[in-house]
Amino acid sequence: MSTSTITYLEQTSPNGVRPAKEPRQPVDVRLVEEVSPEFARFLYASVGGDWYWTEKLSWTWDRWIAWLTRPAFETWVAYAGGVPAGYIALKAEGTEVEVENFGLLPGFIGRGIGGHLLTVGLRSAWSFPQRHPEIDQVTRVWLHTNTLDGPNALGNYEARGLRRYKTEKEERPEADGPPPGPWPGAAKPPAAS
């Protein structure tokens, strides 16, 4: 059975955000304002298919609706060349904001978009009280990644100013085989490393 290492990272001040340089191509990062389970599932499967993101693949339409309509939840999508290039999902609980999901579609990895999207996402997390009056303040932004995620994930998080605070091991039986990809039968070249 495959074992992965989970690394938890955090920021405790908005001054800790270290911006990435601008991507080589124009990128527009926008807040998702419509509730669309189809779009959310597309992003989750397309970004996470190569990294063993499988938990939400079996969710029903109603479960996606419930997840997307939670209080103090946001999804930001990066668009490049007119199409979605990646996304970041943020959820506030009390005075903390978790980066629940973050990543790029495979064709956009290595173009400098991930650092830019993460910069926008972290700044958005710190500014949650401006968009969510039920949140008085944000004292911490945090996330976790694991060794099954993209090879540049941990480095990008640390380059943007997130600091490691805990690691743990996790059994991942689904990682004994190949990752599921974005959809069954999606014969595509492997993601760039």
Question: What mean pLDDT comes out for the span 134-152?
Answer: 94
Instruction: Quote the percentage of the chain above a pLDDT of 70.
Output: 96
Number of domains in the chain: 1
Asked whether residue 153 is domain-assigned, the answer is yes
User: Residue 140 sits in a domain of what CATH number?
Assistant: 3.40.630.30
Question: What mean pLDDT comes out for the span 152-179?
Answer: 90
Asked whether residue 21 is domain-assigned, the answer is yes
The set of residues, in sequence order, having a beta carbon less than 8 Å from that of 103 and lying 6+ positions away, is 47, 48, 51, 86, 87, 114, 149, 150, 153
Answer whether residue 97 shows pLDDT above 80: yes
C-alpha 61/C-alpha 75 separation (Å) is 17
Asked whether residue 192 is domain-assigned, the answer is no
Let me know: does 190 contact 171? Beta carbons within 8 Å.
Answer: no
Phi, psi (deg, nearest 5) at residue 26:
-60, 135
Domain containing residue 40? 3-176
- pLDDT of 6-49, one tens digit each? 999 999 999 999 999 999 899 999 999 999 999 999 999 999 99
Where b means 16+ CB within 10 Å and e means fewer, 128-157 reads beeebeebeebeebbbbbbbbbbebbbebb
Asked whether residue 171 is domain-assigned, the answer is yes
Asked whether residue 191 is domain-assigned, the answer is no
Q: What's the whole-number average pLDDT of the chain?
A: 93
Of residues 190 and 112, the one with the higher pLDDT is 112
Helix (H), strand (E) at residue 1:
none
